[in-house]
Structure 1
């Protein structure tokens, strides 16, 4: 089977790790005799009119058989889908993954294990006074310490721990105008979690992340990593979470709940893979390419 794909990443981001992810995918595709082009999202313009929609590019080339979308430009992903291109992951799954509130709502709908979560009522940023009387109810439900987490954020950023009413009130005022949640603090998982890479119906690699001086375990925030062998329940939970948001593949972060029961922390539809390879010597890109090949063989 002769396939040609695009691997799209964000051309506005200066960090090399975004291109690095795309290059790993391209190499794995080449090893399977699949041709791909790495394209920046800002090299493709979505054009709409009353009688058509199109993709405009600097060099005119035919649309691909598939796109691996490593970016969060969901409008571009949707444009490609409307043009009939199979996008891995879909625009909808990327949008849900990128919005932590939407993620938790869907996980709760599927009765999957998550921390107890309260969505902050919408607050407009231009208000001189903010009525935070609702915070009393939140404290009664969640207690202290608690997590405040912005709906949008990556690499463990935009996640805060608050320990008093004053700290909570200050953070609520700071975040006015942004969507965010209040969340139960899982103290049994302080400074540690597991990242599982799911591709299709299997967990292909996993690692334990540990931080010595932070409640967050992200490697990008200074945490350390080591290979981890998940239990069947942990694997099933990660796969179910990935399917719940409609993703073909994802990095699923699990916390250690009471009695070591897994609790879903986050799902990343664009999870980078170099750290996982450095930790486990497993190349997740190979599994992603195999999954795409299998999809076309059985569609």
Structure 2
């Protein structure tokens, strides 16, 4: 294989806590004759006019793994012919919960009733709620920006603490439980059941536990409806679990965390991802 150069882009604050996964990716890259360099997002500047090189501060890489949650970088890099993992469209969809729900709803994927709304409209509207509900920052990640709201409290009193853009959802699914499915090259790599006895969120970062999960036939069928409609390089698909055991779409993760998978299985997802990149770049 011809030697390839790639950038692994993270925000500075995320590099240290993701160092183990970074090391796994770099080790796998070496075995495939791929030079993979960690480039902090904050160090990047991009020539957006036609007479400038893409990256004025250095030579452009053959490909970019962008885990900085900045879809614009995927978009402008693709305009210059640089392959990005994930592709720009998937990165844009995955990093905005409003867009992800709209896109997957169009595929008839089951989900909670979800409404995108501006904070001002939400606070000033005449909507009356008799049961607790969820408000999400549509650009939040890792379990952040998610609030369980008590309807007995005056929404106007908490308005200042809410993000400007909101995704409203009813409380649904089995409390403190969700399922994350890992996808590489539109193929299911594995699934992890995440559970919390103390929080309505099941994220490991929120104190949850995890275990490897064998998907059933109906669950695989649901996932394939998504993979048949979108070309995903490396994503996590998160689902709530309804009371009847069926799946309800919750989130799509672009820079998906993998700790729960390699804690609970022998799957080397970093190696699988690098193998996939090598094959894609040789096409």
Pair in the same fold by TM > 0.5: yes
Q: Which aligned pairs between 1:29-178 and structure 2 lie closer than 5 A?
A: 29-49=29-49, 51-57=51-57, 60-61=58-59, 63-121=60-118, 123=120, 131-133=124-126, 135-136=127-128, 139=129, 144-166=131-153, 168-172=155-159, 174-175=161-162, 178=164
Q: Which aligned pairs between 1:135-284 and structure 2 lie closer than 5 A?
A: 135-136=127-128, 139=129, 144-166=131-153, 168-172=155-159, 174-175=161-162, 178-186=164-172, 188-241=173-226, 244=229, 246-284=231-269
Runs of at least 5 residues in structure 1 that lack an aligned partner in the other structure: none
Return 269-278 or 98-107, whichever deviates more: 269-278
Describe the shift of the 1:50–1:201 C-alpha distance in structure 2 as closer, same or farther (beyond 3 A): closer
CA distance in 2, matches of 1:27, 1:216: 33
**When the two structures are aligned, how many residues end up with a matched partner?**
283
- The answer to whether residue 25 in structure 2 is matched with residue 28 in structure 1 is no
User: What corresponds to 1:17 in structure 2?
Assistant: 17
Shift of 1:12: 2.9
Shift of 1:242: 5.4
CA distance in 2, matches of 1:219, 1:159: 15
Q: In the alignment, is the contact (CA less than 8 A) between 1:119 and 1:182 conserved in 2?
A: yes
TM-score (norm 1): 0.85
Shift of 1:95: 2.1
Provide, for residues 239-274 of structure 1, a one-character-per-residue CA deviation record: whole Å limited to 9, x for no partner: 544565643221111111132011111110111223
Shift of 1:38: 2.1
Describe the shift of the 1:50–1:30 C-alpha distance in structure 2 as closer, same or farther (beyond 3 A): closer
RMSD over equivalenced CA pairs, Å: 2.5
Shift of 1:35: 2.6
SS of the aligned residue for 2:120 comes to coil
Runs of at least 5 residues in structure 2 that lack an aligned partner in the other structure: none
CA distance in 2, matches of 1:50, 1:206: 44
Return 259-268 or 20-29, whichever deviates more: 20-29
TM-score (norm 2): 0.89
User: What corresponds to 2:276 in structure 1?
Assistant: 291
